[in-house]
Amino acid sequence: MLDKKINHPLHEKENRTICFSDATMVKVKQIIARYPEGREKSAILPLLHIAQEEFDGYLSVDVMDYIAGLLNIQPIEVYEVATFYSQYYLDQVGKYVIEICRTGPCAICGGEKMQTYLEKKLAIKTGETTPDGLFTIKAVECLGACGSAPVMQINTEFYELLTEEKIDRLLEELTVKAKEEKPEKSKWIEKFF
């Protein structure tokens, strides 16, 4: 948690409008209504998930400021939260973020070998993104699927009982899928929030 920093100069504004679509806004209002009046700040975690999904997969300073405005809180309150939780990305990531579990139970079942294999296969180090912008590798702590170790998560999907062949197949499938797929942003939000 301590190794994160905000790279973006605060004064530098982006060239895009940060604003949720009307459909997302309906959902956002529903989420805020789950908490008592005056406690809207409670919605910050789910809203940051949605913002990250809607605005290119990471939380820029402008996006965080936008969320602060929506919840009527100070921007610093959003930065505090965004830098604390490991699922919020402060820098650009690939379309598919591969989070490979490195904690004990996975490690004794070959998790570290899978991490090395991923790095070799994609020719990047953990923490980096492939030049085509498709894959980012991240090493994460226990994903809570130790019974089917080794495990990784790609975006919201779990992939379990990993082998080198399985990884080969999966990366191929995703590469093909990335070319065909049209973005369907609101679907994800409907499903999980």
Partner 1 sequence: MDRKILLKDIAVPGIRTFEVYRSNGGYQSVEKALKRMSPDEVVEEVKKSGLRGRGGAGFPAGMKWSFIDKKSLNPIYLICNADESEPGTFKDRYLMEKIPHILIEGMIGASYALGANTAYIYVRGEYKYIIGILNEAIREACQNGFLGKNILGSPYSLDIHVHSGAGAYICGEETALIESLEGKRGNPRIKPPFPAVVGLYGCPTVVNNVETLANVGFIINNGGSEYARYGTGKSTGTKLISACGNINNPGVYEIELGLSVREFIYSEKYCGGIKNGKELKAVIAGGSSVPILPKDLILQTAAGEERLMTYESLAEGGFVSGTSLGSGGFIVYDEDACIVRNTWNLARFYHHESCGQCSPCREGTGWMENVLHRIETGKGRMKDIDLLVSIANKIEGNTICPLGDAAAWPVASAIRHFRHEFEEHVLNPVKRENLAPTDL
Rule CB under 8 A: which residues touch partner 1?
A: 1-2, 34, 36, 39, 41-46, 48-49, 71, 73, 77, 80-81, 84-88, 102-105, 107-109, 112-113, 115-116, 119, 125-127, 139-149, 153, 156-158, 191-193
Instruction: Of 87, 80, 82, give the one whose Cα is nearest residue 143.
Output: 87
Residue with tokens 């070799």: 120
Min CB(132)–partner 1 separation in Å: 21
- In 36-99, alpha helices (H): 44-54, 61-71, 75-84
Q: Which is nearer to partner 1, 115 or 136 (CB)?
A: 115
Residue 13 CB, nearest approach to partner 1 (Å): 25
Query: Cα Rg for the chain, rounded, in angstroms?
Result: 18
Spatial distance between the Cα atoms of 60 and 55, rounded to a whole number of angstroms:
9
The letter for the amino acid at 100 is I
Q: Are 100 and 160 in contact (CB under 8 A)?
A: no
Based on CB atoms, which residue is closest to partner 1, 141 or 172?
141
Kindly state the smallest distance separating residue 183's Cβ from partner 1, in Å: 18
Helices and strands: H and E segment counts in the chain: 8, 4
Q: Which is nearer to partner 1, 48 or 162 (CB)?
A: 48
Cβ distance to partner 1 smaller for residue 13 or 127:
127
Kindly report the length of the chain: 193
**137 or 171: CB nearest partner 1:** 137
- We find the least distance from the C-beta atom of residue 185 to partner 1, in angstroms, to be 15
